[in-house]
Structure 1
């Protein structure tokens, strides 16, 4: 029987991670290559070749590739998108600049939001107006559209965003203008808000549409290049791009809606974390994904993660379904620095992929979190990636030594100070998604992943009072692994302000039927088998006096008002501590998520040399929390069979990460080959 491989590819700021699984045997293959930010496709193609060579399979046997990308996010951060213009309803050209009139920093009167990506002279007004009930108040004047087209030609714009008032209720004007622009401006990317985000809140809808247009040209080129390269080396593989909501979409859809990939990589990590939690039978986890530049944290309750609909991406508001993840600049490449008062801080500035930490040997001259780990003996002196990537230990001692001289303390103390500050930054991020929302972190297991997550898990767990740490089998590749268990999905919405009264059931039934028809069309277009199709339906609900909504699952009978009210009251009490049964309730939007079945990925077979009584491969001095280094055994992860029990101190090395077992901690390898650590609470 021919082999049948599926590959997940996650492009990070420092490394591009690849994880492949063979369907019949469950055999897993891993590979990491340095990212190529100037052209991410280069790292992906070389990574695919290297992965196939290492594992000994033919890329022609690959059936599916899932891709998590940072291209859109990086383009926004670096402001390297297209020359973009915007068409608005007359008198609304300044909407994206006025915004919500809130200050980005409460106590800094000089801080301001970034200027809109379309400068004022490229924000053009069109004579038209749709009313609040979807009626035509002012007919569309095509003469103003044609005049705008002449300006767009003269300005040589590369992309255009169209965002008209109330177009989410009646998109006819936007779609007519989009058709005229498409005909008159071949080669120019066009984004209409009724396609990108057909919801109320004009500012967020306009901002999201403008960002989408800004990203379309470069992201479209990237998608075309990548799909051509993948087709050349793996002609039978379908290519899916991960969305911020956690599901895969087609390359064509990604090309049209690049803004949907703003949280692509972190969403893949959430998929992998849920899969790991299910394998180990743990319901509630807090994820801690530490990469080269940042740390992403999320709260998973009942093996499910919530979605957020309003986020800032590169300081711009985006309204899209995204996994609810909090990000902080605390990664392996985060740089230690001193403010004007002489106080040491760590991050958010990062050494990135090039030059990277000093120990990478690429010219890095600043002390980073990775360099601090090298100084403390926590990283193997033989290098990373199983020894394939050598480390310049002397460089780490040199740059961390500079920090120690400024602090006037021993170098090991300075190194631990860097790690303590980095952990404190991570703890603040976790408190924001747990304590500040009424969740006690002590009721959750901490799941560290990313290349550096397991190195820092104990410090974070100790600060939060968490006793259990769950380390996945492939922590450094979990985002790529998460792409293996992601199914195709789409986000459909009907936005309409609807009081929950006697007239609501008929309207809800109509909207639900429209969404269901759209979902069926999507299933057919994606060629998803009938037995693999499923849909979920939620309503955005709030009291009539509120500004924010809660997402309430809707059962099979969308007209059951009492069931909707009860579910809303329960969610309101959980979120805010109370509800008012006398206050009027309204539905703002109905959302349907059609999705294909997720691939089933089982536990890979254990290595031939695995044992429940493994012998350490080596020993080395490691600084934990005590006054001296401890002679510590170093184990290889592949040597640990299910049922293995280890006690700290210990180091567990593997290809994609390093795990520290502190003194007093106990670890057990479960049947899914994940490591379950019970903290001993000893501060040594």
Structure 2
């Protein structure tokens, strides 16, 4: 059993802690293995120092629930630090040492215009400025042979120039280094020797795949984030130790695996969807718990909304994402993120049209309703004006609400739109819903999946507030609200295994004459995976093998599973036949007379960790009277304002049944049940919402004719 399967011997409690840092709130959950009890906490995220906010949250969580800090045996973190650094351009000054003639690869890119008819789109700014991109002599051919030796004196001069530019990180990217990394390895050794302490990475370590632009971009972005992530983790690790927490923390990756800080320091690009990945893992777990295999995750927080499609219990995955305008190739869940959250700011464009997001008020100053000085109208303020949010307090009474301030900013917006405040607030809600409907379309309809065949899982602090509207407009009949929707991502972090993904390019025809070279590549991947596993402190793991295949002449590949880490004649024939079938399923045709090329070999290493106990939900027995908080007027599109019962979820009777309208409040989220919708609870504490939609009436958003109001 590896170090990460942490159960202490010799008595004493064992506590695991999961933390998800969002743009507005930080969510924390602790589970005590001895009692099986879960403890929850939610605090605003301080944008100036997220690590400090995490540490304060951990101390409050443990102290408020009488948990000893010395009993914490496992600590796992989901963070958006790398994503925010790229989006905001807060990466460090970075240098690039590259092959002569390839200095401008980052700016030449693929010469694809993102919008064909817009000539004024600014090009993304590379992390390495042009005067910090230095060319050196030496050349490797596509087959790995050396055309010209590495000019080591050029590398030494490059180091001196980059020192003068005061860069903090260096990326080394040579042409065809995927086929032979010798030049990159030597150049890296020279730089490390001449410049001790510099943050440094090479493309053959980060992404040993062909396609120069994508490899150069991925490596340079990675280098630019290494100091950012290192300093953040150093502050967090030091602070955790000062709290008396001894275990080394783990960090969630975009692929759904939690790894050591050392692994993240080397490859910070693997954490771009760290926090949202926890929500996907949590959704997979609850799907297994309830026997639901086809899900669409809908994670709406204060700053953004993340959606992902889960089919037959497996989250969709992809290998490339655009970050800061540059393609970053790393294995991730196929999570689509948009700037739509409770803190999204409503504004009016130059043409006088109402827009919402992607700018967010964050936690400080936050929406006007929070009373922290926010002066701009947000989605939260619109919900407050429409009666959908508690007008007194949120977070179980810990955060006061100021509905009069929400009303003031919405009225100011309404005045500029020349409508009344209610119409302005309803417009804000309709637009933010339309934006999120577009996000769900991207991961479902645009991938050939019918969202009506899936259950929408509503979580995040604002997910249950908007889920019914989004589902109804997509023709999705069923919505599932977990027991702790605002904390599901943090809970999911506790269920993450240890996982690493590795790849290399081979570009060989799929034929028996290339079996030796292919198996040599698979063996190389196996060595890399084993070395990584040892570094993670794990002894046992599963090795799953894959290959990217295409017909010769194509420019896009299909990912195919391999039975094992060794190919022979029969397994190669099976692989080829499987590819033909898969190509026909995906594109409607195959070309059985066309040769097939194996482009990349891939390995996924997974070390299973012990699973935390399921929370034992103690549901109340009784009637709705005990759960009823109040009756208040709530606005719905089909009715306008209508008297609506508001219930405390923690007091709802077991296996409750009700028909909307209703509002259900709890510490971490608020759920809205629209009129005529039917809601039922189950023995495990989940709420199942049935919107009663007929499949005979496809919605305008599903049919593709209209993407918003």
Q: Does 1:630 align with 2:642?
A: yes
Deviations 1:504-525 (A, max 9, x none): 4333332222222332333333
Q: Does 1:619 align with 2:631?
A: yes
Listed as ranges, the matches of 1:147-186 within 5 Å are: 147-186=157-196
SS in 2 for 1:451: coil
Match of 1:586?
A: 597
Listed as ranges, the matches of 1:257-336 within 5 Å are: 257-336=267-346
* Equivalent of 2:457 in 444, 447, 461: 447
Q: Does 1:651 align with 2:663?
A: yes
Match of 1:675?
A: 687
SS in 1 for 2:215: helix
SS in 2 for 1:623: strand
Deviations 1:588-622 (A, max 9, x none): 11111111114323431223645575631322221
The answer (yes or no) to whether the contact 1:241–1:249 under 8 Å persists in 2 is yes
SS in 2 for 1:238: coil
Supply the distance in 2 between the matched residues of 1:121 and 1:619 (Cα, whole angstroms).
65
Moved more, 220-229 or 510-519: 510-519
* Equivalent of 1:47 in 57, 63, 80: 57
Deviations 1:500-557 (A, max 9, x none): 1122433333222222233233333322243xx2121111112222212121111136
Judged with a 3 Å threshold, the aligned counterparts in structure 2 of structure 1 residues 611 and 123 are, in CA distance, closer, same or farther, namely farther
Provide structure 1 residue ranges, at least 5 long, that are not aligned to the other structure: none
Deviations 1:414-465 (A, max 9, x none): 2111111111111111111111111111011111111111110111111110
The answer (yes or no) to whether the contact 2:396–2:666 under 8 Å persists in 1 is yes
Match of 1:604?
A: 615
Listed as ranges, the matches of 1:224-243 within 5 Å are: 224-243=234-253
Residue 641 of structure 1: how far off its partner (Å): 5.1
Residue 681 of structure 1: how far off its partner (Å): 4.4
Alignment TM-score, normalising by the size of structure 1? 0.96
Supply the distance in 2 between the matched residues of 1:626 and 1:301 (Cα, whole angstroms).
33
Judged with a 3 Å threshold, the aligned counterparts in structure 2 of structure 1 residues 671 and 549 are, in CA distance, closer, same or farther, namely farther
Supply the distance in 1 between the matched residues of 2:621 and 2:384 (Cα, whole angstroms).
28
Supply the distance in 2 between the matched residues of 1:611 and 1:242 (Cα, whole angstroms).
41
Judged with a 3 Å threshold, the aligned counterparts in structure 2 of structure 1 residues 622 and 259 are, in CA distance, closer, same or farther, namely same
Q: Does 1:470 align with 2:480?
A: yes
Deviations 1:76-135 (A, max 9, x none): 122222111100001110111100001122221111321212111110001010100001
Judged with a 3 Å threshold, the aligned counterparts in structure 2 of structure 1 residues 55 and 572 are, in CA distance, closer, same or farther, namely farther
Residue 345 of structure 1: how far off its partner (Å): 1.3
Judged with a 3 Å threshold, the aligned counterparts in structure 2 of structure 1 residues 179 and 592 are, in CA distance, closer, same or farther, namely same
Q: Does 1:71 align with 2:81?
A: yes
* Equivalent of 1:548 in 553, 556, 579: 556
The answer (yes or no) to whether the contact 1:292–1:334 under 8 Å persists in 2 is yes
Q: Does 1:363 align with 2:373?
A: yes
Residue 646 of structure 1: how far off its partner (Å): 2.4
Q: Does 1:33 align with 2:43?
A: yes
Alignment TM-score, normalising by the size of structure 2? 0.93
The answer (yes or no) to whether the contact 1:103–1:112 under 8 Å persists in 2 is no
Supply the distance in 1 between the matched residues of 2:310 and 2:636 (Cα, whole angstroms).
29
Match of 1:88?
A: 98
Supply the distance in 1 between the matched residues of 2:320 and 2:644 (Cα, whole angstroms).
47
Deviations 1:308-366 (A, max 9, x none): 11111122221111110111121111111112221111111211222211111122111
Match of 2:226?
A: 216
Residue 565 of structure 1: how far off its partner (Å): 2.2
Supply the distance in 1 between the matched residues of 2:643 and 2:135 (Cα, whole angstroms).
71
Supply the distance in 2 between the matched residues of 1:97 and 1:201 (Cα, whole angstroms).
15
* Equivalent of 2:16 in 6, 25, 29: 6
SS in 2 for 1:490: strand
The answer (yes or no) to whether the contact 1:288–1:448 under 8 Å persists in 2 is yes
The answer (yes or no) to whether the contact 2:627–2:652 under 8 Å persists in 1 is no
Moved more, 149-158 or 435-444: 149-158
Supply the distance in 1 between the matched residues of 2:335 and 2:622 (Cα, whole angstroms).
37
The answer (yes or no) to whether the contact 1:489–1:596 under 8 Å persists in 2 is yes
Number of corresponding residues: 681
Match of 1:536?
A: 544
Match of 1:145?
A: 155
Match of 2:134?
A: 124
Residue 642 of structure 1: how far off its partner (Å): 4.4
Judged with a 3 Å threshold, the aligned counterparts in structure 2 of structure 1 residues 610 and 245 are, in CA distance, closer, same or farther, namely farther
Provide structure 2 residue ranges, at least 5 long, that are not aligned to the other structure: 1-10, 698-709
Supply the distance in 2 between the matched residues of 1:576 and 1:527 (Cα, whole angstroms).
43
The answer (yes or no) to whether the contact 1:612–1:642 under 8 Å persists in 2 is no
Q: Does 1:424 align with 2:451?
A: no
Judged with a 3 Å threshold, the aligned counterparts in structure 2 of structure 1 residues 343 and 162 are, in CA distance, closer, same or farther, namely same
Q: Does 1:571 align with 2:582?
A: yes
Moved more, 28-37 or 84-93: 28-37
Supply the distance in 1 between the matched residues of 2:247 and 2:33 (Cα, whole angstroms).
14
Residue 478 of structure 1: how far off its partner (Å): 1.4
The answer (yes or no) to whether the contact 2:619–2:653 under 8 Å persists in 1 is no
The answer (yes or no) to whether the contact 2:627–2:648 under 8 Å persists in 1 is no
Supply the distance in 1 between the matched residues of 2:77 and 2:280 (Cα, whole angstroms).
14
Judged with a 3 Å threshold, the aligned counterparts in structure 2 of structure 1 residues 598 and 420 are, in CA distance, closer, same or farther, namely farther
The answer (yes or no) to whether the contact 1:129–1:138 under 8 Å persists in 2 is yes
Residue 219 of structure 1: how far off its partner (Å): 1.5
